């Protein structure tokens, strides 16, 4: 057998030994093509899963993503049949709940003997306007620390943190999914078309990609949010386009170039395939694994970008992790350190963990797609 340099094709064939395929006995035709394809797809999935599961970090990432998925599902369940049914208490946006403490109003600050039950007259005006010494002033305690009713406490406006956290998970997944799908669609199409046609089309698209790559993402999004009302789906599309047109398109174009010169492209052309057939049936399927990898990194980027923009109050959304952090900041709790940890840690950790989860999965997928990175 001719010894061939498999280096170039390796990237395209995430396959290992002991391949499982659908085997047909002699004279037996498959009952339906769709079923055979599903079986083949399942066999391919099992094979790649075996490779993926060898990477512990990837499994951790997948576990984290699943955990967040459970959280996203948990919110509507808790709100409809679980313990969070009360709209006035557990609504992530307009809910309110605070333990009430009665304070005895005293004349001056010097008269306060027990700060847990007494309050001076001047300070008391903040809560009980017009109160004088001797009155009783009832104060709603916000933010409240974690308790049996509020597992992660309440925020400075008396809203339940646990409810907000799980509610925001859905938005994060929605944003990540939209950004990822748009990135893959834009990057593979742009990359494949640039590589396939070459010439001025290639030049135009790649210079555009360079331009997008050079644009600073956050300032651009800040400007865009000033001009338009940026909702979460729109943000997803924006991030998808910006990241899909930039670096990802360039990487996919280089991969598509190596596919384009393969003889099977010529073979398909001789079969009568049009340019569109060649691009969508031959070039794109062969760059798609790489594009899935970049999809994971886009999700990571989108999750952290959303937190950044929400933190500055630039996103039009009911509740997100970034808005939770933003609330803590605008109410002045950001610099109070860990005294009010439940305002910062849950949302901050959620952003970092979900971003890290997708990143780890991306790294593990990289090993499946790119055999040179495998430890064996």
Partner 1 sequence: MTSQNGSETRVKVENLQKLYPISRGVFRAPTDFVHAVDGVNFEIKAGQSLGLVGESGCGKTTTGRMLVKLDEASDGTILIRDSATDEMIDVTEINSKTEQKEFRRNVQMIFQDPYESMNPRRTIFDIVAEPLTVQNLGTTEEREERVVDLLRLVGLTPPEPFLFRYPHELSGGQRQRVAIARALVMEPTFVVADEPTSMLDVSIRISIMRLMLELAEELGVTYLYITHDLAVARYMCDKIAVMYLGKIVEMGPTEDLLTRPMHPYTRALLSAVPVPDPSYKRPEVEIEGGVARAINPEPECRFIQRCPFAQDVCRESPHPDLSERGNDHLVACHLVDPQGNWMGAERAVLDLRS
Contacts with partner 1, residue ranges (CB under 8 A): 1-2, 4, 9, 12-13, 15, 19, 21-30, 33, 36, 40, 262-264, 266-274, 277, 282, 285-286
Closest C-alpha among 300, 356, 289, 350 to residue 62: 356
3-state SS record for 314-351: CCCCCCCHHHHHHHHHHCCCHHHHHHHHHHHHHHHHHH
Q: Judge whether 327 and 155 are in contact, CB under 8 Å.
A: yes
Query: How many residues are given for the chain?
Result: 376
Rounded to the nearest whole angstrom, what is the least distance from the CB of residue 5 to partner 1 in the complex? Answer: 10
Q: Give 130 or 272: the residue with its C-beta nearer to partner 1.
A: 272
Q: Judge whether 20 and 328 are in contact, CB under 8 Å.
A: no
Rounded to the nearest whole angstrom, what is the least distance from the CB of residue 20 to partner 1 in the complex? Answer: 11
Rounded to the nearest whole angstrom, what is the least distance from the CB of residue 334 to partner 1 in the complex? Answer: 51
Rounded to the nearest whole angstrom, what is the least distance from the CB of residue 271 to partner 1 in the complex? Answer: 4
Q: Give 36 or 224: the residue with its C-beta nearer to partner 1.
A: 36
Q: Give 255 or 310: the residue with its C-beta nearer to partner 1.
A: 255
Rounded to the nearest whole angstrom, what is the least distance from the CB of residue 173 to partner 1 in the complex? Answer: 29
Q: Give 279 or 303: the residue with its C-beta nearer to partner 1.
A: 279
Going edge to edge, which strands form the sheet with 100-106? Answer: 118-120, 100-106, 136-140
Q: Give 199 or 226: the residue with its C-beta nearer to partner 1.
A: 199
Rounded to the nearest whole angstrom, what is the least distance from the CB of residue 315 to partner 1 in the complex? Answer: 39
Q: Give 75 or 260: the residue with its C-beta nearer to partner 1.
A: 260
Query: How would you class 269 by CB atoms within 10 Å of its CB: exposed for 0-12, middle for 13-18, buried for 19 or more?
Result: middle
Q: Give 27 or 337: the residue with its C-beta nearer to partner 1.
A: 27
Rounded to the nearest whole angstrom, what is the least distance from the CB of residue 7 to partner 1 in the complex? Answer: 13
């Amino acid at each position: 057998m001719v010894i061939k340099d498999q280096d170039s094709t390796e990237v395209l064939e995430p396959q290992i030994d002991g391949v499982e395929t659908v085997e047909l006995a002699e004279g037996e035709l498959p009952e339906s093509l769709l079923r055979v394809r599903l079986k083949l797809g399942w066999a391919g999935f099992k094979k790649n899963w075996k490779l993926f599961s060898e990477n512990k970090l990837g499994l951790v990432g997948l576990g984290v993503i699943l955990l967040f998925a459970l959280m996203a599902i948990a919110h509507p369940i808790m709100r409809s049949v679980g313990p969070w049914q009360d709209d006035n208490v557990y609504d992530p946006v307009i809910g309110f709940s605070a333990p009430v403490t009665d304070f005895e109003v005293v004349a001056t600050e010097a008269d306060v003997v027990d700060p847990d039950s007494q309050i001076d007259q001047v300070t008391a005006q903040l809560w009980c306007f017009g109160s004088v010494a001797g009155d009783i002033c009832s104060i709603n305690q916000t933010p409240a620390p974690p308790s049996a009713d509020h597992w992660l406490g309440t925020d400075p406006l008396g809203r339940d943190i646990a409810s907000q956290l799980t509610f925001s998970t859905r938005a994060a997944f929605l944003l990540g999914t939209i950004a990822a799908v748009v990135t893959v669609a834009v990057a593979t199409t742009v990359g494949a078309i640039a590589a396939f046609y070459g010439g001025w089309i290639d030049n135009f698209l790649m210079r555009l990609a360079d331009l997008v790559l050079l644009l600073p993402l956050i300032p651009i999004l800040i400007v865009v949010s000033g001009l338009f009302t940026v909702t979460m789906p729109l943000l997803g599309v924006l991030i998808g386009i910006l990241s899909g047109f930039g670096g990802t398109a360039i990487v996919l174009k280089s991969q598509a170039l190596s596919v384009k010169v393969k003889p099977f492209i010529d073979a398909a052309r001789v079969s009568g395939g049009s340019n569109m057939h060649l691009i969508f049936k031959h070039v794109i399927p062969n760059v798609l694994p790489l594009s899935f990898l970049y999809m994971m990194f886009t999700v990571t980027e989108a999750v952290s970008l959303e937190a950044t923009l929400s933190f500055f109050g630039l996103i039009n959304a009911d509740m997100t992790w970034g808005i939770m952090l933003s609330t803590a900041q605008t109410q002045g709790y950001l610099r109070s350190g860990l005294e009010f940890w439940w305002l910062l840690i849950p949302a901050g950790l959620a952003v970092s963990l979900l971003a890290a989860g997708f990143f780890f999965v991306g790294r593990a997928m990289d090993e499946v797609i790119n055999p040179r990175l495998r430890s064996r």
